[in-house]
Amino acid sequence: MGFDNHLPTRRELLVGSGALFAWSQMPRIARAEGRDPRLLVVVLRGALDGLGAVAPVGDPDWVGLRGDRALVLDGKPPALPLDSFFALNPAMPNLHRLYKTGKAAIVHAAATPYRERSHFDGQDVLESGFTKPGATASGWLNRALLATESGGRVDPRGSRALGIGSVTPLVVRGSAPVMTWVPQKLLPASEDTQNRLLDLYQHTDPKLATVLQARMKLASLGGAPGTGDPMSDDPTLMPPGIARVRAYFAEAAGTAARYLAKPDGPRVGAMGFVGWDTHIAEGAASGQLYNLLGALDGAFAAIESNMGEVWGETVVAVVTEFGRTARINGTQGTDHGTGTVAFLIGGALTGGRVIADWPGLKSAQLFEDRDLKPTTDLRAVLKGLLRDHLRVEEKVLADAVFPGSADVKPMGGLVG
Amino acid sequence: MSNSAKAEAVLALHRFGMGPRPGSLAAVGTDPRGALIAELDRPLALSAAASLPTSAKAYRTVADANARRAARAKQAQQQAKKQQVAAVPTAPGDQAQAQAQTEGQAPAQGQEKDAAEMAAKQAADAVPDPGRPIYLQEAKLRTEAALAADIGFAERLVWFWSNHFCISAYKIQSMSGAYEREAIRANALGHFVDLLLAVEGHPAMLFYLDNLGSMGANSIAGINRSRGLNENIAREIIELHTLGVRTGYTQDDVISFANVLTGWTLVPPGDNPEHGGEFTFNPRLHEPGGQTVLGKRYEQEDAEQGRAVLRDLAAHPATATHVATKLARHFVADEPPPPLVEQMAKTFRDTEGDLKQVAITMVSSDDAWRGSPSKLKRPSEWGVGMVRATGITVVDPTRFTAGQELLGEGLWRPSAPKGYPDDEASWIDGIGRRLDIANNFAERVAATADPQGIIEDVFASQIAPEVKQAVGRAESRQQALALLFMSADFQRR
């Protein structure tokens, strides 16, 4: 069964015999050009609040919308200015630095074609590349990899993708082989999951609620190392503090980068980070979301440093299934919405800009009078990256990688 | 099927079975009580067990490995000593000194002895312990039987009796799985007396409760040796396995019964490659003459004396009450309804301890079905229930047993002969660990398990609306599954 895995395992399942066929890892056409591009996709599961990550501080309706929860340039801490209109969450100094040096771009008010608000279905659409949710066995990144190899045929000698985590993200699953790596630091149930379970128990089973609450309290009091708390030695008894989340993000992302950087390693990879479903006490400026974005920013630093010399040939696309409500809800959080941001970082990017066809924040400008209206199709961004970075042909992108997307033109000029 | 029929079917699966799995609701049908009873007529034997060694074979395998290990260690130690001798400077007259060193008189002896011991240990470690893989194979077979069962009532009874008559794999790992198959599984639906005789005469139990070398003071072996009687098994049989604690027996009863059981041992594996590890009665260890246990005189010769006492203990009314109480507590409630216990005890008494009839009495009684599910599942039941819900039928035994260990209920590894406790207070503090396990399992199955599908198909939507809502709102399939597995509907029965 599955209950286990508390014995931390570090496994690497290599498919095929990697090192002997290093050349086959490299997308065929790019190889012909003497390039060796890398693409890492990071899926933020739970739906990131794009407005809490990248705030439209220049929009006259912004502060009215979020009140004292709005990120502002003179806030505490102050948001980091990106241009005259947008500012970045202060938890992300690395991203800010990359942006300033042209190695990061932000796409705002973007969304997949999915217009409902179910996480699972939204993630299916985001990762499968299809226009509708439903059972699909493969993801767009895997199909794109197939397209770059030998005219669409899998090279049996080892063209492969990288999946990080004990479950391979759907985006990278498919008929091209996937090697997976499971981080050593297994992330126990998140604070968010614990809070939800506690809420559930409070409504259904007071006894279980009491026990769970006591455990959470104990961990928050004595969880820090060095306090002499006997519990602190046992990771299974502690809910993860933000320090552990940061460590997990950095290890997972850093390892992905190390594999992609290897001369004979895979060239595309994918990983997921959970915890973005901030219904209660979102804490964009200080709190839950701030902490998570900080951990993500640390993951960016780990990727940059571990890519080493091939950073210049790297693109990382950070995407989420949908956004959140434009307004704050009754519990100082945000509910499921539509338009949100995507982060693009990497030495191969032509960045330093926020790409947005800004829809505005007035009631009538919001999607269904509640969400940031999506004005950019996320598939256009991804197709642009696949075409210009990995050299996947446009027709293949429209037919096989993102079926039914012929009228969604690849966005040009993202990579240099 | 009406909603109330569905609710009763789901309750039947949680309370008396291994939990709902795909197809199990259909197996229960509209007559849950009838379906539970019908399951007791199917064979309990594990067909795949043919590939596993008997307990005696497993024991011999480990004994052989131990012998090889000792031989290798000795050889390595001797070699290390020879090398030390050779390394000593060979100036005239040094031979005697070198000799002295090997006999442990020279100043450097400590170091050299350590080196020899290390070599011995390394050589020994090179011989793998066959007990562990046998344990894991047994664990796999047992767990997969629980996963595959339509309902799992019969498997739950095997688990119950295995815990009632527990041994410990810490002490006798190689036999732990075979013991359950040979003594428990073969008799769990028979008469209690046959179960009792099989258990107490099993080499694993005799080993676990220290009876192998127990000898009467006046036995042939006892007269010649300084060792003597061990009371352990006699006390536990009376106190835990049959009458129950504080049922009127005395210390004298325990000593007499221990004397009765002297000679119950196993065939030493070293001198018997065919029957080593099997039960045998060794008359040289047996205390001669009659004994009085609980006021009755037992004059039989050899092992028949012990069997006679066990038969009387099995038929004792206190045993009926003890067994009925434990069964009802395990299946129904920490404080089971007294009328239910009395009905079950009466069936036990009326049928000479027919365990199938006792089980039928239990599930036929309205008292066993009343009340909202308040019983907290033990970690093992909860864990298997979680895997069953996803439809998975194959397990990695290393991972599974490690998980059970982590939750405080290591397979065949209770810390005392009393077995694992069966009340909420003992397990509720482990909820936090369950969450980590559930979260981890959910992560691994999220790609294939659909939480909504489990609620609708496996649970027939018989689950609290709050849980459905929490699952629907979860940020990922993993989180949805973790919340579902951790819900009170999943934890309680």
How close B394 comes to chain A (CA, Å)? Answer: 7
User: For residue range A274-289, what is the model confidence (pLDDT) as tens digits?
Assistant: 889 888 889 999 888 9
Please identify every stretch of chain B with a pLDDT value under 50, giving residue numbers as ranges.
89-108
pLDDT of residue A11: 30
Residue B110, token pair as written in the block: 């400590």
The predicted model scores a pTM of: 0.73
CB contact under 8 A, A274 and B475: yes
Q: Is A170 on the interface with B (CB under 8 A)?
A: yes
Q: CB of B354 within 8 A of CB of B324? A: no
DSSP string, B232-256: HHHHHIIIIISS-SSSS--HHHHHH
Q: CB of B266 within 8 A of CB of B279? A: yes
How close A122 comes to chain B (CA, Å)? Answer: 10
For residue A84, is pLDDT > 60? yes
Q: A-B interface: how many C-beta pairs under 8 angstroms?
A: 156
CB contact under 8 A, B488 and A201: yes
Q: Is B148 on the interface with A (CB under 8 A)?
A: no
Pairing label, strands B264-266, B279-281? antiparallel
Q: Is B411 on the interface with A (CB under 8 A)?
A: no
Omega before B269 within 30 of 0, i.e. cis:
no
pLDDT of residue A219: 66
For residue A374, is pLDDT > 70? yes
Residue B113, token pair as written in the block: 């002895």
Q: Which chain B residue has the Cα nearest residue A199?
A: B470
Which residues share a beta bridge with A314? Answer: A38
pLDDT of residue A278: 87
DSSP string, B259-322: HHHTTEEE--STT-TTTTTSEEE-TTTSPPS-EEETTEEE---HHHHHHHHHHHHHH-HHHHHH
pLDDT of residue A158: 44
Distance in angstroms (rounded) separating the CA atoms of residues B138 and A231: 33
Q: Which chain A residue has the Cα nearest residue B480?
A: A193
How close B269 comes to chain A (CA, Å)? Answer: 35
Contacts of A45 in chain B (CB under 8 A): 475-476
Among B473, B452, B470, residue whose Cα is nearest residue B461: B452
Q: CB of B18 within 8 A of CB of B380? A: no
How close A5 comes to chain B (CA, Å)? Answer: 7
Among B441, B405, B440, residue whose Cα is nearest residue B420: B405
Residue B105 burial by CB count (10 A; 0-12/13-18/19+): exposed, middle or buried? exposed
Q: Is B478 on the interface with A (CB under 8 A)?
A: yes
CB contact under 8 A, B407 and A3: yes
Helix (H) or strand (E) holding B326: helix B317-331
pLDDT of residue B312: 98
Give the one of B399, B466, B489 whose C-beta lies nearest to A4's C-beta.
Answer: B399
Residue A194, token pair as written in the block: 């614990």
Distance in angstroms (rounded) separating the CA atoms of residues B58 and B204: 11
Distance in angstroms (rounded) separating the CA atoms of residues A275 and A292: 8
Distance in angstroms (rounded) separating the CA atoms of residues B487 and B481: 10
Q: Is A406 on the interface with B (CB under 8 A)?
A: no
Q: CB of A372 within 8 A of CB of A339? A: yes
Give the one of A4, A45, A208 whose C-beta lies nearest to B400's C-beta.
Answer: A4
Please report where in the chains the tokens 């902490």 appear, as a residue. Answer: A291
pLDDT of residue A280: 80
Distance in angstroms (rounded) separating the CA atoms of residues A309 and A163: 22
Please report where in the chains the tokens 């009078």 appear, as a residue. Answer: A369
DSSP string, B18-63: S---TTHHHHHTT-HHHHHHHHTTS--S-GGGGGSPPHHHHHHHHH
Distance in angstroms (rounded) separating the CA atoms of residues B168 and B262: 22
Q: Is B362 on the interface with A (CB under 8 A)?
A: no
Q: If contacts are CB pairs under 8 Å, which of residues 442-471 in chain B contact chain A?
A: 443-447, 464, 466-467, 470
Q: CB of B163 within 8 A of CB of B414? A: yes
Pairing label, strands A161-164, A38-45? unpaired
CB contact under 8 A, A193 and B396: no
Tell me which of B283 and A19 has the higher pLDDT.
Answer: B283
pLDDT of residue A34: 76
Give the one of B440, B444, B487 whose C-beta lies nearest to A200's C-beta.
Answer: B487
Among A39, A43, A30, A75, residue whose Cα is nearest residue A57: A75
Distance in angstroms (rounded) separating the CA atoms of residues B241 and B220: 30
CB contact under 8 A, B466 and A47: no
Q: Is A45 on the interface with B (CB under 8 A)?
A: yes
Distance in angstroms (rounded) separating the CA atoms of residues A381 and A408: 10
pLDDT of residue B359: 98
User: For residue range B283-335, what is the model confidence (pLDDT) as tens digits?
Assistant: 999 999 999 999 999 999 899 999 999 999 999 999 999 999 999 999 999 99
For residue A32, is pLDDT > 70? no
Using pLDDT thresholds of 50, 70 and 90, give the confidence band for residue A221: low
For residue A7, is pLDDT > 50? no
> Residue A30 is which amino acid?
A
Residue B363, token pair as written in the block: 């599930």
- ipTM reported for the complex, 2 dp: 0.86
Pairing label, strands B291-293, B296-298? antiparallel
Q: CB of B193 within 8 A of CB of B446? A: no
- Residue A342 phi/psi, 5-degree rounding, is -125, 140
pLDDT of residue A135: 60
Distance in angstroms (rounded) separating the CA atoms of residues A280 and A329: 8
CB contact under 8 A, B440 and A186: yes
Among A315, A384, A359, A312, residue whose Cα is nearest residue A41: A315
Q: CB of B232 within 8 A of CB of B209? A: yes
How close B395 comes to chain A (CA, Å)? Answer: 5
For residue A239, is pLDDT > 70? no
Helix (H) or strand (E) holding A50: helix A50-53
How close B257 comes to chain A (CA, Å)? Answer: 43
How close A53 comes to chain B (CA, Å)? Answer: 18
For residue A225, is pLDDT > 80? no
CB contact under 8 A, A196 and B483: yes
Q: Is A2 on the interface with B (CB under 8 A)?
A: yes
For residue A5, is pLDDT > 60? no
For residue A150, is pLDDT > 60? no
Q: If contacts are CB pairs under 8 Å, which of residues 127-156 in chain A contact chain B?
A: none
CB contact under 8 A, B476 and A167: no
Contacts of B407 in chain A (CB under 8 A): 3
How close B192 comes to chain A (CA, Å)? Answer: 33
Distance in angstroms (rounded) separating the CA atoms of residues A68 and A39: 38
Q: Is B475 on the interface with A (CB under 8 A)?
A: yes
pLDDT of residue A216: 81
pLDDT of residue B395: 93
- Out of A85-94, A129-138, A367-376, least confident range: A129-138
Question: Count of CB atoms within 10 A of residue A104's CB?
Answer: 26
CB contact under 8 A, B483 and A193: yes
Alpha-carbon A272 to chain mean position: 6
Alpha-carbon A395 to chain mean position: 27
| DSSP-derived 3-state class of residue A319 | strand
Give the one of A3, A168, A237 whose C-beta lies nearest to B441's C-beta.
Answer: A3
- Residue A298 phi/psi, 5-degree rounding, is -65, -35
For residue A17, is pLDDT > 90? no
pLDDT of residue B34: 97
Among A122, A33, A29, A39, residue whose Cα is nearest residue A337: A122
For residue A228, is pLDDT > 60? no
Cite the beta strand spans of A300-346 per DSSP E: 314-320, 340-345
Distance between first and last Cα of chain A: 48
User: For residue range A300-318, what is the model confidence (pLDDT) as tens digits?
Assistant: 999 999 999 999 999 999 9
Helix ranges restricted to H, B40-130: 55-87, 94-102, 109-125
How close B441 comes to chain A (CA, Å)? Answer: 5
Q: Which chain A residue has the Cα nearest residue B394?
A: A1
Q: Is B437 on the interface with A (CB under 8 A)?
A: yes
Distance in angstroms (rounded) separating the CA atoms of residues A291 and B207: 56
Instruction: Calculate helix-pair angle for B153-164, B379-389, nearest 10 degrees.
Output: 160
pLDDT of residue A160: 72
